[in-house]
Amino acid sequence: MTKTSVARGAQLVAETGIDEDASGLIGAVGLHQEAAWQHAERTLENAHGLIRDKAMNPGILHQTLGKGEENRVVRADEFVHKPRVSCQIYATRQFASCRPLRPFLLCFVKNEQESGQLGVVIPLEESKNKQASIKPLVDLTKADMERVNQLILSKAGSDVQMIPEVAEHLISSGGKRLRPMLTIASAALYNYQGDNHIKLATSVEFLHTATLLHDDVVDESDLRRGKSTARMIWGNQASVLVGDFLLGQAFRMMVEVGSLEALDVLSSAACVIAEGEVLQLSVSKNMETTEDDYLSVIRAKTAALFSAAAEVGPIVANAGKAERNALKSYGTNLGLAFQLVDDALDYGGKAADLGKNVGDDFREGKITLPVILAYRRGTEKERAFWREAIETGNNSDENLEKALGLITKYGALNDTIARAVHYGTIARDALAPLPETPWKSALMEVIDFCIERVN
């Protein structure tokens, strides 16, 4: 550890009034910041540390890991997280075995160059550290979701036999229905008592299903949720046209609700999703794609519908602008976290869990964050491999194995998950001001569930 890192830690203690008993944290904080400055592109986007001062008045060190940025210490009542331990820091270059947003301690042993990792994660309060689940949300929304499912089956019906066959194939294939559950829950947060949230939730699911049918054609996908895609059974034309039918039904239900604001939010989301698809096509197989480009794609393709699904709940419940914005922010950042984890799992998951083949993104030439990070951190020879494999379509199993090795070598999966944790934290912050209710608690746990899929 350098004198500079110790000096930085000592300065933090002097400025914040941290008890001398916490002096063991000095080196950790100093080294952590030093590693961030030395490896700015490779570090995590955010770290959070909790510290107790002499008056046992908890404060929070919020460090954004970027060159030239300073630490700041704020009071706990200015920040969402409530301390449950005397020391809490998050930052890791390995998949954590514990919940990313729950208390655990990071101990620094060596610098990154010596050890190949930033820190070692030691779970705290292991008995409370149960796996996150969407079950609380499923249980709360069960009655309303039964009505949504009935409406889905009704609105997917048609005298044209192929339409309900194709729609039913995907609708019944085991999706979690997370997006319509967000609509139900966000309306319930504001004590909505009517029926319009059922139609809006069904509209959200139809929008999602239509995009999946279209996606599978564009991506030439063979598997979806572990089953053959509709295009593999009925062909591309039927898949596209049934998707169009579901879009039409979604908009009919939005009109029936009679809320121009809800119609505006959902129709805007449909446009943004289409823009995201086109943007993804424009950067496909282009190894010069930046992280900003990638974030623009997933913000449009995935986060836009999460955001709209969460925002229309408070709209139909006649909640205020601040309440709408809170749920909109929650949905957007949950969607970003969800997609980041999905893209990490494509290289680090199992086919049985994914419902598709591992490495499908690689075979399709999709430029996702693990690839972007591994490419930019690699040697010129390694970057040449990526250009040859992705841009020319040489996506053999041998090249997939090499790609997985490079992604692992440069910690690209770990840092992708770290960014998911970052957006998950923003989603939690968005809900923080809301009263404590079972609905809020369930929505909070959904964030953890989306991120913990890596485990």
Considering just the CA atoms, what is the radius of gyration of the chain in Å? 23
Bridge-based pairing state of the strands 72-75 and 46-52: unpaired
Residues 140, 121 share a domain: no
**Which residues, in sequence order, are CB contacts of 29 under 8 Å at separation 6+?**
8, 9, 12, 49, 61, 63, 71, 89
Say what percent of the chain tops pLDDT 90.
Answer: 56
Question: Pseudo-torsion of CA 153, 158, 160, 164, nearest 10°?
Answer: -10
Residues 373, 244 share a domain: yes
Q: Two tokens at 28?
A: 């950790």
Which of 8-12, 150-154, 443-447 is least confident?
8-12
413-445: pLDDT as tens digits: 999 999 999 999 999 999 999 999 999 999 999
Which residue, 325, 292, 293, is CA-closest to 310? 325
* DSSP letter (8 states) at residue 274: H
Query: Quick one: how many helices (H) and strands (E) in the chain?
Result: 20, 8
Q: Two tokens at 331?
A: 């949905």
List b or e across 27-45, with b for residues whose CB sees 16 or more CB atoms inside 10 angstroms.
bbbbbbbbbbeebeebbbe
**Which residues, in sequence order, are CB contacts of 89 under 8 Å at separation 6+?**
28, 29, 32, 47, 48, 49, 50, 105, 106
Say what percent of the chain tops pLDDT 70.
Answer: 69
> Which pLDDT value is given to residue 222?
79
Domain count, the chain: 2
Residues 220, 278 share a domain: yes
Residues 323, 427 share a domain: yes
**CATH at 290:** 1.10.600.10
Q: Two tokens at 71?
A: 């630490």
* Residue pair 328/307 in contact by the 8 Å Cβ criterion: yes
Q: How far apart are CA 324 and CA 312, in angstroms?
A: 8
Residue identified by tokens 């698809």 is 277
What string of DSSP letters covers 47-91?
EEEEEEBTT--EEEEEEE-STTPPPEEEEGGGSSPPP-SSEEE--
> Which pLDDT value is given to residue 356?
55
Q: How far apart are CA 310 and CA 180, in angstroms?
A: 9
* DSSP letter (8 states) at residue 124: S
User: Residue 143 is which amino acid?
Assistant: A
Q: How far apart are CA 286 and CA 278, in angstroms?
A: 14
> Which pLDDT value is given to residue 44?
36
Bridge-based pairing state of the strands 120-123 and 104-107: antiparallel
266-286: pLDDT as tens digits: 999 999 999 999 999 999 889
Which of 67-71, 153-157, 256-260, 282-286 is least confident?
67-71
Return the higher-pLDDT residue of 36 and 15. 15
> Which pLDDT value is given to residue 364?
85
Residue 87: which H helix or E strand, with range?
A: strand 87-89
Residues 104, 202 share a domain: no
Return the higher-pLDDT residue of 272 and 127. 272
* Residue pair 340/298 in contact by the 8 Å Cβ criterion: yes
Residues 139, 123 share a domain: no
Residues 388, 252 share a domain: yes
Residues 334, 188 share a domain: yes
Residues 202, 98 share a domain: no
* Residue pair 393/365 in contact by the 8 Å Cβ criterion: yes
Query: What is the average per-residue pLDDT within 175-201?
Result: 96
Q: How far apart are the first and last CA of the chain?
A: 32
Residues 78, 35 share a domain: yes
Question: Among residues 94, 128, 162, which one ends one of the domains?
Answer: 128
Question: Among residues 128, 150, 172, which one ends one of the domains?
Answer: 128
Query: What is the average per-residue pLDDT within 389-418?
Result: 94
pLDDT tops 80 at residue 61: no
pLDDT tops 50 at residue 225: yes
Burial tier of 401 (Cβ tally within 10 Å: 0-12, 13-18, 19+): exposed
Residues 304, 164 share a domain: yes
Which of 128-137, 148-157, 236-245, 383-392 is least confident?
128-137
Domain span at residue 283 reads 135-452
Predicted confidence band at 42 (pLDDT cuts at 50, 70, 90)? very low
pLDDT tops 60 at residue 213: yes
- Give the distance, in angstroms, between the CA of residue 425 and the centroid of all CA atoms in the same chain: 10
Question: Among residues 128, 156, 174, which one ends one of the domains?
Answer: 128
Residue 323: which H helix or E strand, with range?
A: helix 321-348
Which residue, 451, 453, 394, is CA-closest to 90? 451
> Which pLDDT value is given to residue 242?
92
- Give the distance, in angstroms, between the CA of residue 440 and the centroid of all CA atoms in the same chain: 18
* Residue pair 148/205 in contact by the 8 Å Cβ criterion: yes
**Which residues, in sequence order, are CB contacts of 206 under 8 Å at separation 6+?**
152, 155, 246, 247, 249, 250, 253
Residues 208, 116 share a domain: no
Query: What is the average per-residue pLDDT within 169-196?
Result: 91
